[in-house]
């Protein structure tokens, strides 16, 4: 693999936007690698102290199309240090980006309470919609959500592979002073395009429907995304999940949505879905935020959703098995 040196920073004027990314997994590291091309005021907050030290010592490495780039100007800190307010030079944070898994958001929001007054805006990048049920409790004036269409994989604490180039689409839930819009609009990142959408609900609904259709079935059937299209029985199963999800979310343009689901399956045909990967590693999945969210919506609207309930329980049952395995080992 070719070492292609460091990324240069483009100056954007006198004041740099201060970014903090919470969660240094695949997406947190990928986003940091690209945003660092445009700002030298970015802090990546890790869950574990050791990861912050590793990145400080070795540098953050981005691997894309067989090239390794050692990314400059990414500072790191453990979340605990950040939240204890040990970072005296961070007086205010312009854009805080939450890049943890959906079931980790609750803890992050609890931890953030101490420094919320220092944060001008917050952007959530989770799959599913469980995190949106916690927004009522946030006192940060500007709140946005995003959908990540890239593929990323952390291979060690300082290296991330950009496995699929897509887009980051985001939208305001509450626009505040439009700090995020001002920060993102001048960015020109060829390999990491960022697009603003008008309405956040349709943005998240379309990704939620894709994840509801693809993730649980691929995990339970142990197949790659493309096999849901190729095998007529699996396609039939997926279309039944799709119909129920659309009923629950009151989706108006169903034909267009079905095309979108098929298109994502096609474009990611050789991928293992994130839920299948979680199953392989016996990790907690994001089911509560995907099918769990749909079931809570169905209950509120008094809609019967038996297929979604059945799939939800199958995944939750597997999670119980994984946890029991942990206790035994």
Ligand X SMILES: NC(=O)C1=CN([C@@H]2O[C@H](COP(=O)(O)OP(=O)(O)OC[C@H]3O[C@@H](n4cnc5c(N)ncnc54)[C@H](OP(=O)(O)O)[C@@H]3O)[C@@H](O)[C@H]2O)C=CC1
The verdict on 273 binding ligand KPL (CB under 6 A) reads yes
25 binds, among ligand X, ligand KPL, none (CB under 5 to 8 A by kind): ligand X
In the complex, minimum distance from the CB of residue 34 to ligand X, in angstroms, rounded to a whole number: 14
In the complex, minimum distance from the CB of residue 277 to ligand KPL, in angstroms, rounded to a whole number: 8
Cβ contacts of 188 within 8 Å, gap of 6 or more:
38
| Interface with ligand X in residues 57-116 (CB under 6 A) | 79, 99-102, 104, 107-108
Q: Which stretch binds ligand X (CB under 6 A): 6-14, 21-29, 33-41, 113-121?
A: 21-29
Which residue in the list 10, 207, 316, 318 is annotated as catalytic?
207
Q: Which stretch binds ligand X (CB under 6 A): 67-75, 125-133, 261-269, 309-317?
A: 125-133
Options 46, 51, 215, 251; binder of ligand KPL; rule CB under 6 A: 215
The verdict on 123 binding ligand X (CB under 6 A) reads no
215 binds, among ligand X, ligand KPL, none (CB under 5 to 8 A by kind): ligand KPL
The verdict on 37 binding ligand KPL (CB under 6 A) reads no
* Known catalytic residue at 254: no
Options 5, 6, 48, 313; binder of ligand X; rule CB under 6 A: 48
Label the pairing between strands 19-22 and 42-46: parallel
In the complex, minimum distance from the CB of residue 288 to ligand KPL, in angstroms, rounded to a whole number: 14
Residue 238 phi, psi dihedral angles, 5° rounding? -65, -40
Cβ contacts of 51 within 8 Å, gap of 6 or more:
24, 76, 78, 157, 158
Q: Which stretch binds ligand KPL (CB under 6 A): 190-198, 208-216, 250-258, 299-307?
A: 208-216
Binding site for ligand KPL (CB under 6 A): 127, 210-211, 214-215, 225, 264, 268, 271, 273-274
Binding site for ligand X (CB under 6 A): 22-28, 47-48, 51, 79, 99-102, 104, 107-108, 125-127, 148, 151-152, 154, 274, 286
């Amino acid at each position: 693999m070719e070492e292609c040196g460091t990324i240069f920073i483009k100056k954007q004027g006198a004041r740099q936007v201060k970014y903090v990314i919470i969660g240094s997994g695949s997406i947190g590291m990928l986003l940091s690698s690209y945003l660092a091309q445009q700002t030298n005021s970015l802090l990546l907050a890790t869950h574990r102290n050791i990861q912050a030290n590793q990145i400080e010592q070795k540098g953050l490495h981005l691997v894309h199309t067989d090239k390794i780039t050692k990314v400059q100007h990414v500072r790191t800190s453990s979340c605990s240090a950040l939240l204890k307010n040990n970072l005296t030079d961070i007086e205010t944070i312009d854009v805080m980006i939450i890049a943890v898994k959906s079931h980790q958001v609750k803890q992050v929001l609890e931890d953030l309470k101490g420094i919320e007054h220092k944060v001008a805006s917050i952007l959530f990048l989770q799959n599913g919609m469980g995190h949106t049920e916690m927004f009522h409790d946030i006192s940060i004036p500007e709140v946005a959500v995003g959908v990540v269409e890239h593929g990323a994989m952390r291979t060690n604490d300082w290296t991330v592979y950009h496995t699929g180039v897509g887009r980051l689409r985001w939208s305001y839930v509450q626009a505040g002073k439009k700090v995020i819009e001002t920060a993102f609009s001048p960015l020109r990142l060829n390999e990491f395009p960022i697009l603003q959408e008008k309405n956040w609900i349709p943005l998240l609904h379309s990704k939620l429907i894709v994840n509801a259709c693809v993730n649980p079935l691929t995990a339970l059937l142990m197949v790659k995304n493309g096999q849901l299209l190729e095998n007529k029985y699996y396609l039939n199963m997926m279309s039944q999940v799709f119909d129920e999800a659309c009923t629950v979310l009151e989706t108006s343009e169903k034909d267009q949505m079905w095309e979108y689901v098929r298109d994502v399956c096609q474009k990611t045909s050789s991928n293992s879905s994130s839920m299948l990967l979680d199953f392989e590693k016996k990790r907690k999945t994001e089911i509560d935020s995907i099918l769990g969210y749909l079931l809570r919506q169905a209950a509120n609207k008094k809609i019967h959703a038996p297929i979604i309930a059945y799939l939800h329980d199958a995944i939750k049952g597997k999670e119980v098995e994984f946890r029991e395995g942990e206790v035994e080992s």
